[in-house]
Structure 1
């Protein structure tokens, strides 16, 4: 628990505010942190929107923020927003958000990606990447999964859909987008600001600002705040012993958290579906770690055998791709050089074998057609071509694995 007596309360940006005080004037709730930018927006009764997943940090952040807004007399709109990721969600995530909304008396809105849930996004990405490879729109086969360095799972299925909803619901209003980010969580988060302009929420007639009011909190502060509010924790913590809540099986999950998720029977269907994509793509869910290994006892003999073959294929695919000269890899979705005939022959051999391993009906499997395809794409890039037939359809970084 934070030592509240050691906090110095001063009226300046970065001030730590007690959320409520006892009759003796002592802080009885943990503090939130604000900035001049946040204070000015709140003084104008801006919209305050808190993204909630059902996980401990977003719940504690909502409790603390609600208390603080009550204390300062904020009279603007307040809303909780849950981005539903579909089949990959723990079944208790939405109910946990509903319990929170009822406890603090805020409206809860639920948004979702219209083009499909998280699993559909990974499956669709894989299908698109297979097409790219077949058309030689990439030199190396690209994985279906999001990664810690390429978190489109967060940017597309959470941030983008939440921002879209907020812009639609509150036209012309300044919006504070609140998140339960804490510096204790990671080195990257230790560097994050208390608040910042949020471009996705900015419009011609209104500003958008991200705000992290519990950024200085420790994990024990989070749990004590939730317990003090009388709220029941998400079942992932309470029943299965997970340390975090996001997707049931997350690209950021530890081995222990993957095991915790697999111990919940309601997660078995999505587990098998995700392992199916590992087997089909020959890419492990996490770098060097196969989701199939987290709970292999849940797999059918047929799927377990396909995973074994996929692992063998993955090892051979990776070895083959290491043979490709770096100057023949694509940058920003385009080749930057035309191979010699000998280099093109190497690319063709690599493509042919990988296509066999993964089951991709590829074009450009001989030296002459490979060299001609590279030349056509290099020429189109140089000319600034907008012809869809000659432009690569996806610009994911193929070096990310």
Structure 2
């Protein structure tokens, strides 16, 4: 079997009996990471607690993901902890993000509408629904201890992950993030799973997908999105996501509309709504391009009052965008925009004092 990567720091913690928590999603990499890590821990006679932990993302998850994690836990004789975001799953997060974006735009608490979807550069789907809830649970279970958090990250997966280290410490020192498979190939991963006698997630060999995460993932290629849409269990979610595309005028993957992946699953009204959303998106983007760079939202916004010309530009854009999306905004002329900016600027000292 392929050797795993480790570091002196991780090995010292293991020798001292540090708790080991392996994040499992139901995907191949976390499944192989759990198998290989347990074998390594047995070989070095690790005496500390071990567990598997799964972050349930709600309706976006494949129905087989949890059973794959359960089968893995039973095979290893380990406990499986399931954690969830209290405010709901990922689909609910996308929907609430759109409502928040809409409300903030209507009240001129931001300059442009923001996408409801997570993106490769803004993966709140990982940070909020996985990392935060998992670390909170581990801190609760192991107070005062340094926990080794195992993931199936591999350098081969992407340019960003090509720079991954075998292990590193979290900023607060409470966790060591260990990536034992960092140098493994896809073939190594499937060989590890197959040698155990367990089955990988059916999405790989039955559905024909190259990766398993959410049913429809922001990182998926077109072939994986198409394969996912072909599965009956994913089709209600597909329509719900397409309706959010149409409502928000933001495509699921930047320039790729999920509504184009399997239009046969949509009814006439839904297909018409997608077509209208695409047209509105082009007009929205064109309108927002009239907003100059110094006017755009930045941290600490607003930094200054707008000029009369800038206020007129913003008012015109807000009227156009609101008409396109059926929004009900305030602050649609020069004087009301100046008044709103003055209000926001005046509130800053009070906010700093409260902080």
TM range (shorter): over 0.9
Equivalent of residue 266 in structure 1, options 212, 229, 233 = 233
Q: Distance in 2 between matches of 1:106 and 1:167?
A: 19
Superposed, 1:155-234 pairs within 5 Å as 155-199=127-171, 202=173, 207-234=174-201
1:245 matched to 2:212? The reply is yes
In the superposition, the TM-score normalised over structure 1's length comes to 0.86
Once the two structures are superposed, residues 202-223 of structure 1 have per-residue CA deviations (whole angstroms, 9 ceiling, x without a partner) of: 4xxxx32110011000111001
- Would you say the 8 A contact 1:195–1:210 is kept in 2? yes
In the superposition, the TM-score normalised over structure 2's length comes to 0.97
**CA deviation after TM superposition for structure 1 residue 387, in Å:** 8.8
1:74 matched to 2:41? The reply is no
Equivalent of residue 112 in structure 1, options 84, 92, 97 = 84
- Would you say the 8 A contact 1:50–1:179 is kept in 2? yes
**CA deviation after TM superposition for structure 1 residue 242, in Å:** 0.5
1:355 matched to 2:322? The reply is yes
Q: Distance in 2 between matches of 1:62 and 1:230?
A: 14
Once the two structures are superposed, residues 46-86 of structure 1 have per-residue CA deviations (whole angstroms, 9 ceiling, x without a partner) of: 10000000100000111100000000000110000010000
Equivalent of residue 340 in structure 1, options 290, 307, 312 = 307
Q: CA RMSD in A?
A: 1.5
Once the two structures are superposed, residues 329-381 of structure 1 have per-residue CA deviations (whole angstroms, 9 ceiling, x without a partner) of: 11025122322112211110110111111111100001111122223323434
Once the two structures are superposed, residues 141-195 of structure 1 have per-residue CA deviations (whole angstroms, 9 ceiling, x without a partner) of: 1111111111000000000001111111122322100000000001111111111
Provide the residue aligned with 1:385 in structure 2. Answer: 351
Q: Distance in 2 between matches of 1:69 and 1:387?
A: 51
Q: Distance in 1 between matches of 2:337 and 2:278?
A: 28
1:125 matched to 2:97? The reply is yes
Q: Distance in 2 between matches of 1:193 and 1:375?
A: 48
Q: Secondary structure at the match of 1:108?
A: strand
- Would you say the 8 A contact 1:328–1:337 is kept in 2? no
Equivalent of residue 12 in structure 2, options 14, 34, 40 = 40
Provide the residue aligned with 1:324 in structure 2. Answer: 291
Q: Distance in 2 between matches of 1:320 and 1:99?
A: 53
- Would you say the 8 A contact 1:182–1:190 is kept in 2? yes
**Residue segments in structure 1 that go unaligned for 5+ positions in a row:** 1-28, 392-401
Provide the residue aligned with 2:106 in structure 1. Answer: 134
Q: Distance in 2 between matches of 1:178 and 1:360?
A: 45
How many residues are aligned here? 355
Q: Secondary structure at the match of 2:212?
A: coil
Note closer, same or farther for the CA distance 1:368–1:156 as it changes in structure 2 (3 Å cut). Answer: same
**CA deviation after TM superposition for structure 1 residue 386, in Å:** 5.0
Note closer, same or farther for the CA distance 1:81–1:337 as it changes in structure 2 (3 Å cut). Answer: same
Provide the residue aligned with 1:86 in structure 2. Answer: 58
Q: Distance in 2 between matches of 1:350 and 1:229?
A: 60
Deviation >4 Å, runs of 4+: none
**Larger helix share, 1 or 2:** 2
